[in-house]
Structure 1
Amino acid sequence: MLERLLHSVVRDGALVVRAPDGKVYSVGGATEAEAPLIVHIRDHATLARIARRPTLAAGEAYMDGGLVIERGSLYEFLALMTRNLHHFMPRRGLFGWLRPKNPRAAARRNAAHHYDLSAAFYRLFLDADMQYSCAYFTGPGMSLEEAQAAKKRHLAAKLLIEPGHLVLDIGAGWGGLALTLAGEHGAQVLGVTLSSEQLDAA
């Protein structure tokens, strides 16, 4: 089953996978200019996680030490996976067709797993307004604070926000965008979040 999955996913480039049982699978085609990457999946639990959700679980397995790159670099592994992304995105893992991608019952738990860390943790690397999404750097030398303010101005301009407009902010986080749209543009904003930590901090 693993061999079939690997052959269906890696078609551009070459990858050697050492499975938990010691078996070695070679997929793709190596060239003189590009030796195959070698990865070791250290245990069956990691293999099962990757089979179920390859795009998420492979990165988590690398962080946890369950997936070890034995030849090549993390950058080369990510480049290989990116080149082959269109082969495995529709699959959603071996058994992805059996279940919804994010069933309603799991949505709150998934949000809590990702966002319900303390606000103090996020303050270590976010701007003062706690913007979690991408900043908008319009030139060199901009600080994160300036780029996040530029992002909010850009969004307001693109949306043509005027006083009295009603805005629904789904995934409002700590409310920074909502406060800007209400305070600087006169919009009436309703923010929605599944994260109790974000709601408490907002």
Structure 2
Amino acid sequence: MSVRLLHPLIQNGLYKGDSNHAGGILACKCTDRPVKVKVSAGIAHNHACGCTKCWKPDGAAFSVVAVASSESVSVVGNGDKLAVVDPSSLIQRHACKECGTHMYGPVERDHAFKGLCFIHPELFDNGNWPEPGFAAFVSSVIEGGVDPLEMDGIRLKLKEVGLDSYDCLSPALMDYLATWTAKKNGVLH
């Protein structure tokens, strides 16, 4: 049984990236005046994401997405081509109006992820960024049009390439969210 394309960079296994990767320049898919975004620090929580909001390469069921501190992310070229995809969304995904590539998505509202910016590391001008560590929102690929009968095969393939699959975020990130909420509500100090 063949399995749907997870993502071109994870379909056949994970490469070993550099956990000390210091950032680089992200570029959209335009051949004329590509949008360029500088990430001047390392990234964290790189993962395959099955949500319906993240940008994915054509034919892929998952995106590959990570976070960087918002203060380390800046537009350095052709920012006039950017627009926010959904102003009501927690993650303010800035996409190129011409090619549709999501370039960066800061979290600016009061949330545990405030101060973080979501980026797609595959857009870096260098390829040595840290490999994905897990798959999140796996069931959400159904909302994107994947036949539910494919899910066992998809989860098996994710496991084969070395990614634990979750229908939310990884346990460490879920603990972080719960801790933030408990502190905000005065349950923890």
TM over 0.5: no
Task: Report the structure, 1 or 2, having the larger helix content.
Answer: 1
Task: Report the structure, 1 or 2, having the larger strand content.
Answer: 2
Task: Normalising by structure 1, report the TM-score.
Answer: 0.29
Structure of greater Rg: 1
Task: Normalising by structure 2, report the TM-score.
Answer: 0.31
- Higher-RCO chain (CA-CA 8 Å, sequence separation at least 6): 2
